[in-house]
């Protein structure tokens, strides 16, 4: 019937991309496997060999997110403020990943890839933050950027910061520079 080949060849990437699109439109709770399948142009059962289940798909998405976050934080070096800015920019630039990453109820918690990616991201953050701060300041910085990103994504922050949340968080993080 269709000219589409029986074997898609890259269902995994197509599924992740389609899921990102769907989550950006309706949030993770409203995500439907069949909707993702329609967007990707495959049947809803095509995901089984690749992800096992819906939780498996979201777990893979979370793992990809932690990897991207690790890359982003590592790229800016050991500056606490700029690492924080990178954290917020990642969250705002990849809202679907970010939302899924920190909702453990959506994951297969024991997934090896996810655990490895979480560890990579944790190492990257610890390295960047601990270079210029003590333990308490490190926790403060992480909480600030994580809270700021969450509040921004949920629309709770006053408008006006909306233009560039990455820059908007910089003066907030600078408060911590004086505390060392």
Partner DNA sequence: TGCGGAACTTACCATTGGCAAGATAACATC
Partner DNA sequence: GATGTTATCTTGCCAATGGTAAGTTCCGCA
Site residues (CB under 8 A) for its own copies? Answer: 26-30, 102-106, 136-137, 139-140, 142-151, 154-157, 169, 171-172, 175-176, 178-179
125 interacts with DNA by CB under 7 A: no
Task: For residue 58, give the nearest of 84, 30, 86, 28 by alpha carbon.
Answer: 28
Q: Would you say 68 and 145 are in contact if contact means Cβ atoms under 8 Å apart?
A: no
33 interacts with DNA by CB under 7 A: yes
Residue 148 CB, nearest approach to DNA (Å): 31
CA gap 25, 21 in Å, rounded: 6
Specify the residue, 35 or 82, whose C-beta has the smaller distance to DNA: 35
CA gap 166, 69 in Å, rounded: 14
Work out what residue 42 binds among DNA, its own copies, none; the CB cut-off runs from 5 to 8 Å by kind.
DNA
Binding-site ranges for DNA (CB under 7 A):
5-11, 31-35, 42-46, 48-50, 52-55
């Amino acid at each position: 019937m269709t000219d589409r080949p029986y074997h898609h060849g890259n269902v995994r990437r197509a599924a992740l991309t389609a899921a990102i699109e769907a989550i950006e439109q309706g949030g993770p709770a409203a995500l439907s496997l069949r909707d993702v399948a329609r967007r990707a142009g495959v049947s809803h059962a095509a995901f089984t060999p690749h992800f096992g289940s819906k939780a498996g798909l979201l777990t893979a998405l979370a793992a990809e997110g932690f990897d991207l976050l690790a890359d982003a934080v590592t790229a800016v070096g050991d500056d606490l403020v700029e690492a924080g800015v990178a954290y917020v920019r990642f969250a705002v630039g990849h809202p679907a990943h970010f939302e899924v990453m920190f909702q453990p109820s959506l994951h297969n918690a024991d997934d090896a890839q996810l655990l490895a990616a979480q560890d990579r991201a944790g190492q990257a953050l610890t390295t960047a933050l601990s270079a210029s701060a003590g333990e308490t300041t490190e926790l403060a910085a992480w909480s600030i950027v994580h809270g700021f990103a969450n509040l921004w994504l949920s629309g709770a922050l006053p408008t006006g910061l909306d233009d560039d949340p990455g820059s908007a968080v910089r003066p907030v993080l600078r408060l911590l520079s004086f505390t060392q």
